[in-house]
Chain A
């Protein structure tokens, strides 16, 4: 499940993902993306502390957020990733893509 939990001052938005992230979460993602487009935040925190499982489609959703950060020009932070998912992200190169896009935007 993907949902907004809070909107802070200074144009920071927090998106919390709970349970599983897979193909069934796509519709929820679209709603979140629409909200991001409307809100034009400068900083987005993707909180994954309550994410239990992610499959390759779920990683695809994370990648969409990363590319969106470039498109909408906001700083994306991925936070609270558990040890196993963190290891998967490292193996797949998710953080490398995120860092590369941040460098390009500087």
Chain B
């Protein structure tokens, strides 16, 4: 049987390549849909405070991760994490992290032990592929209005203090997940009151540049908080995203960006 070469559809080997590419594109599209479902509809109950998050991928899928868990001990767990790299490889590790976290969070272990367990679960695999994850774990106690938290090498969340109209960091030293086989993560506590705001974020914000190639800075987040701390978390979150768009003059981001806004 004669093979017909059709110039408009390309050489037969090109057609094979294109078929392969469209298959990969479709799989990436499905991966994107799965990830969107994972981030969709996170809205906590009122008794836990006013918490909301958003994750904006730089590519089709993201290596950033955030989650809220209602703990058996009555606390609300907030997790934010950033997998090294971008795109599909990072997003696969992100799913891996989610699985490890889910099983640990069901045990009501405190944040420091949670980080230790997650590290133990992932460190061998992460070291074998030369990857790591930064992660911040904070448990909100609605009774005592306190956060207990521990940090595995993630950027410190910032708190807007209403009484003093000032900003402080939720500092805690630690080592990235996958950095060491064994590390004792210290645990810290901070008390919050009404009209105070906590913003968790990933380092993708620092890859956002303006027209003069100057990078977005924490100062921009602080300005948003000074202007909108008295509003709902959803409004503050939207303002934070808008501040990045205004700064870069584009809706595309260079690195994955994630924000969580929490108000007691």
A, B assembled together = yes
Residue of A nearest to B129 (CB): A60
Smallest Cβ distance from B83 to chain A, in angstroms? Answer: 8
B176 contacts A92, C-beta separation under 8 Å: yes
Choice from B132, B175, B180, B203 contacting A55 with Cβ under 8 Å: B203
Query: Assuming the A-B contacts A56-B203, A63-B179, are A92 and B134 also in contact, with contact meaning beta carbons closer than 8 angstroms in the complex?
Result: yes
Bound-state Cα–Cα, A57 to B256, Å: 13
With most chain B CB atoms within 10 A of its CB, the pick from A53, A57, A90, A91 is: A91
Bound-state Cα–Cα, A56 to B179, Å: 13
Contacts of B85 on A, CB cut-off 8 Å? Answer: 23, 56-57, 60
Bound-state Cα–Cα, A89 to B139, Å: 25
- Chain B interface residue bracket vs A: 20 to 34
Smallest Cβ distance from A24 to chain B, in angstroms? Answer: 12
Bound-state Cα–Cα, A60 to B180, Å: 13
B173 at the interface (CB under 8 A from A): yes
Write the A60-95 contact mask toward B (1 if CB under 8 angstroms, else 0).
100110010000000000000000000010111110
Choice from A63, A88, A96 contacting B130 with Cβ under 8 Å: A63
Query: Assuming the A-B contacts A55-B255, A60-B130, are A93 and B207 also in contact, with contact meaning beta carbons closer than 8 angstroms in the complex?
Result: no
Write the B196-239 contact mask toward A (1 if CB under 8 angstroms, else 0).
00000001000100000001000000000000000000000000
Query: Assuming the A-B contacts A23-B85, A57-B84, are A93 and B130 also in contact, with contact meaning beta carbons closer than 8 angstroms in the complex?
Result: no
Q: Is the interface of B mostly helix, strand, loop or mixed?
A: loop
Bound-state Cα–Cα, A91 to B173, Å: 6
A100 at the interface (CB under 8 A from B): yes
Q: How many residues on A have C-beta within 8 angstroms of the other chain's C-beta atoms?
A: 19
Choice from A23, A57, A67, A93 contacting B176 with Cβ under 8 Å: A93
CB contacts under 8 Å to B, within A4-63, are 23, 53, 55-57, 59-60, 63
B183 at the interface (CB under 8 A from A): yes
A56 contacts B82, C-beta separation under 8 Å: yes
B68 at the interface (CB under 8 A from A): no
B264 at the interface (CB under 8 A from A): no
Listed stretches B5-13, B20-28, B151-159, B241-249; interface member: B151-159
A93 contacts B153, C-beta separation under 8 Å: yes
Residue of B nearest to A101 (CB): B180
Residue of A nearest to B82 (CB): A56
B130 contacts A97, C-beta separation under 8 Å: no
Residue of A nearest to B256 (CB): A56
Write the B80-95 contact mask toward A (1 if CB under 8 angstroms, else 0).
0011111000000000
A91 contacts B131, C-beta separation under 8 Å: no
Bound-state Cα–Cα, A55 to B215, Å: 13
Residue of B nearest to A92 (CB): B153
B174 at the interface (CB under 8 A from A): yes
Query: Assuming the A-B contacts A55-B207, A60-B131, are A93 and B84 also in contact, with contact meaning beta carbons closer than 8 angstroms in the complex?
Result: no
Bound-state Cα–Cα, A101 to B173, Å: 18
Smallest Cβ distance from B59 to chain A, in angstroms? Answer: 12
Residue of B nearest to A89 (CB): B153
Contacts of A92 on B, CB cut-off 8 Å? Answer: 134, 153-154, 175-176, 179
Contacts of A93 on B, CB cut-off 8 Å? Answer: 152-153, 173-176, 179-180, 183
* Interfacial residues, chain A to chain B (CB-CB below 8 A): 23, 53, 55-57, 59-60, 63-64, 67, 88, 90-94, 96-97, 100
* Interfacial residues, chain B to chain A (CB-CB below 8 A): 82-86, 127, 130-132, 134, 151-156, 173-176, 179-180, 183, 203, 207, 215, 255
A-B pairs, 5 with minimum CB distance: A93-B175, A92-B153, A56-B84, A93-B153, A97-B179
